[in-house]
């Protein structure tokens, strides 16, 4: 009986020893954890205050307010140096937490904090994108509104342009931080495709008729020019034919009253060997045919048949 | 829409220049002589009527392009056959050769057509 009591006592003692050991093993870690947290928190607060003071001393607020940030911060409780100090504070706090939880070895909280820390630069870039986009948008709105101030739709146009730029910036920022990429990208593409379609139909549709008129002019021009070329060629060959007839060495007295053979071939080039087309037989080699010194005499017109009437 | 195609207007200008040149060499002295020589004037008129029928279209007279082309063809072929355009002051207009009267008629048509 006493044996069993002794054994039980021994077991109890071992358990208590285990308990103490694990507590003693745990205590330094917990102490270190708390110390790190406290020190980090203190450092963070000191840094926040220091950054705030230094920035205010340097004149950061005034420099920032000269930009467009003042309007953005107008409704918040902080001024710019406050904001920067607070950012520093939370950053230091985050690193402190990471360090403190690192004591416990791999654990889910550390993973979470690491993920947040890794994500922070992208969030920063996204914020910068939004701020820059807002600044550009306000500048564009100012420029457009001033340039088109005389137009009734100038203000509307300026607002539309500004919101378009802000929308682009927002979508870019959301893409940057990886939020709703599957939603924003199709929306962006749809909006851009809509604008492109409006441009194509509106601008391109307006260009259909001028282009048509231009084509008409070109074809008309080509037609007129080819007509002129054909006319010139026809007249040229007619002239050649007449000259050949006139220069023929021996003017055989062709029947002067012979009518023209057929209708005058207007469209076809005159063959070289036929007589001039319109009722005009071989001309004499000279004019007038018999020498006559009398200037007022009615010169004979042999060889000149009267022109065919009724053309 | 009245087209003013560049190529066509260039051709038209070239034809007008050629006709003006021909008028200087032949047309002006020839028509001046015809003013005093009724026979020559009648012959020129007959030549002109023939040319109007030959070169003109149905409703209009011959165009400067057609007239210039005809004069070119006439002079080129005659030149190939050995005929040269005489100097205006050397021409005996009472005995003007057929080709010369023809060219005077071309100039008369060119002066009278409105196209």
- The answer to whether the Cβ–Cβ distance between A284 and B98 falls below 8 Å is yes
B44 has a chain A CB within 8 A of its CB: no
Q: Does B76 sit within 8 Å of A240, measured CB to CB?
A: yes
Mean pLDDT of chain A: 74
The answer to whether position A298 is within a domain reads no
In a domain, A251, yes or no: no
Q: What percent of chain A has pLDDT over 70?
A: 72
- Single residue among A146, A175, A204 that ends a domain in this structure: A204
Residues A138 and A88 occupy one common structural domain? no
- Say whether A103 sits in a helix, a strand or coil: coil
Please identify, among A53, A74, A105, the residue that sits at the C-terminal boundary of a domain: A105
Give contacts of A 155-174 with B, CB under 8 A.
none
CA distance A175 to A206: 37
**DSSP 3-state of A118:** helix
Q: Can you read off the two tokens belonging to residue B69?
A: 């082309």
- CB-CB neighbors (< 8 A) of A213 in chain B: 1
* Mean pLDDT, residues A4-21: 76
Q: Which of B8, B13, B1 is nearest to A217 (CA)?
A: B1
Residues 7-36 of B with CB under 8 A from A: 7-8, 11-12, 15, 36
Has residue A2 been placed in a domain? yes
ipTM of this complex prediction, to 2 decimal places: 0.81
Q: Residue B9 has which token pair?
A: 């207007």
**A68 plus A136 within the same structural domain:** no
Same domain, A141 and A233: no
Q: Are B70 and B52 in contact (CB under 8 A)?
A: no
Q: Domains in chain A: how many in total?
A: 3
Q: Per-residue confidence at A278, pLDDT binned at 50, 70, 90? A: very low
Where in chain B are the domains? 13-112
Q: In terms of domains, do A68 and A153 share one?
A: no
Q: Chain A residues with CB inside 8 Å of B53's CB?
A: 264, 278-279, 307-308, 311
Select from A204, A236, A262 the last residue of a domain: A204
Span A42-85, pLDDT tens digits: 999 998 889 888 888 887 777 766 655 566 666 666 777 787 78
Mean pLDDT of successive 10-residue segments in chain B (115 residues)? 60 85 83 82 86 76 83 84 77 78 85 68
For the segment A82-95, the average pLDDT, to the nearest whole number, is 84
List Cα–Cα distances, A132 to A43, A125, A172, A192, B9, in angstroms. Answer: 32, 10, 11, 21, 59
Query: Does residue B99 contact residue B47 with C-beta atoms inside 8 Å?
Result: no
Number of H helices, E strands in chain B: 5, 0
Residue A282 lies in a domain: no
CATH, residue A193? 1.10.287
Helix, strand, coil % (nearest 5) of chain B?
Answer: 75, 0, 25
Assess whether A5 and A34 both reside in one domain.
yes
Q: Give residue A216's domain range.
A: 207-244
Instruction: Say if residue A229 is in the same domain as residue A179.
Output: no
CA distance linking residue A246 with residue A269, whole number of Å = 18
């Amino acid at each position: 009986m006493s044996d069993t009591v002794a054994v039980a006592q021994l077991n109890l003692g071992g358990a208590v020893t285990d308990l103490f050991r694990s507590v003693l093993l745990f205590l330094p870690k917990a102490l270190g954890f708390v110390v790190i947290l406290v020190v980090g928190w203190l450092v963070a607060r000191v840094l926040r205050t220091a950054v705030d003071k230094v920035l205010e001393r340097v004149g950061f607020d005034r420099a920032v307010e000269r930009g467009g940030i003042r309007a953005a911060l107008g409704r918040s409780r902080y001024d710019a140096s406050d904001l920067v100090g607070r950012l520093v504070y939370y950053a230091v706090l985050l690193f402190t937490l990471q360090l403190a939880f690192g004591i416990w070895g791999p654990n889910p909280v550390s993973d979470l904090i690491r993920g947040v820390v890794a994500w922070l630069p992208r969030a920063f870039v996204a914020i910068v994108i939004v701020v820059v986009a807002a600044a550009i948008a306000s500048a564009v709105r100012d420029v457009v509104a001033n340039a088109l101030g005389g137009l009734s739709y100038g203000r509307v146009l300026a607002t539309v342009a500004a919101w378009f730029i802000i929308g682009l910036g927002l979508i870019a920022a959301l893409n940057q931080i990886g939020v709703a990429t599957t939603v924003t990208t199709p929306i962006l593409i749809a909006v851009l495709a809509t604008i492109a379609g409006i441009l194509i139909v509106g601008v391109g549709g307006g260009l259909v008729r001028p282009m048509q008129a231009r084509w008409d002019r070109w074809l008309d021009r080509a037609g007129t020019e080819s007509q002129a070329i054909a006319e010139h060629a026809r007249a040229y060959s007619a002239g050649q034919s007449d000259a050949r007839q006139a220069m023929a060495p021996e003017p055989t007295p062709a029947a002067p009253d012979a009518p023209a053979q057929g209708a005058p071939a207007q469209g076809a080039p005159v063959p070289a060997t036929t007589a001039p087309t319109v009722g005009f037989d071989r001309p004499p080699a000279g004019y007038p045919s018999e020498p006559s010194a009398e200037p007022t005499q009615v010169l004979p017109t042999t060889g000149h048949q009267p022109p065919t009437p009724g053309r | 829409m009245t087209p003013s195609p560049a190529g066509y207007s260039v051709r038209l200008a070239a034809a007008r220049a050629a006709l003006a040149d021909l008028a200087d060499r032949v047309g002006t002295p020839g028509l001046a002589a015809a003013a005093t020589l009724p026979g020559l004037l009648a012959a020129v008129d007959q030549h002109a009527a023939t040319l109007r029928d030959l070169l003109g279209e149905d409703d209009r007279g011959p165009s400067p392009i057609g007239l210039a082309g005809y004069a070119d063809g006439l002079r080129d072929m005659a030149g190939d056959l050995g005929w040269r355009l005489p100097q205006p002051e050397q021409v005996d207009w009472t005995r003007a050769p057929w080709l010369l009267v023809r060219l005077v008629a071309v100039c008369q048509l060119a002066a009278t057509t409105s196209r």
